[in-house]
């Protein structure tokens, strides 16, 4: 029995990366997204490259709203969970959100609006 060499082809990476910065009021934010097969990861942060918060949301055939869970970070801070839930519902994919910016309730809609504008301008990241 001979040693047959089989040529192995590796599939191309299907991950799509995108990043942008924005000013929302007095707040400067950076956003990084990674689009994977049936999944999206969104990191929102400031000047520090920290990841102190992470939530996950996924649609369920048994529930009207996507199911969410806080993977890390304070449970009282529900910005990432709420954003993950809304994105998962809108995009019909599983969504991870890491929200690492101290904001008030007035800044949050501006951040979400900027994120939505970026998704509309770059549909390839969805």
pLDDT single digits (tens) 73-120? 999 889 999 999 999 999 999 999 999 998 888 899 999 999 999 999
Q: What is the pLDDT of residues 15-33, one digit of tens each?
A: 999 999 999 988 999 999 9
What pTM was estimated for this model as a whole? 0.88
Q: How many helices (H) and strands (E) does the chain have?
A: 2, 6
CB count in 10 Å sphere of residue 7: 4
pLDDT reading at 1 higher than 90: no
Dist CA 119 CA 126 (whole Å): 7
Any alpha helices (H) in 1-126, and if so which ranges?
A: 79-91, 108-121
Q: Which residues pair with 111 in a beta bridge?
A: none
Q: Kindly report the CA angle at 106 between 20 and 51, in degrees rounded to 5?
A: 45
- Give Dmax (Cα) for the chain: 72
Higher pLDDT, 125 or 59: 59
Contact (Cβ atoms closer than 8 angstroms) between residue 57 and residue 38? no
Dist CA 89 CA 78 (whole Å): 17
């Amino acid at each position: 029995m001979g040693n047959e060499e089989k040529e192995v082809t590796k599939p191309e990476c299907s991950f799509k990366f995108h990043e942008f910065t924005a000013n929302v009021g007095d707040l400067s934010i950076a956003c990084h997204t990674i689009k994977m097969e049936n999944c999206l990861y969104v990191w929102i942060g400031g000047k520090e490259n920290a990841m102190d918060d992470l939530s996950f949301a996924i649609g369920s055939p048994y529930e009207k709203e996507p199911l969410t869970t806080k993977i890390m970070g304070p449970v009282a801070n529900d910005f990432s969970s709420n954003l993950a839930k809304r994105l998962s519902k809108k995009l019909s994919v599983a969504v991870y959100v890491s929200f690492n910016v101290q904001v008030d309730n007035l800044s949050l809609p501006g951040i979400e609006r900027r994120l939505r504008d970026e998704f509309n301008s770059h549909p390839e990241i969805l």
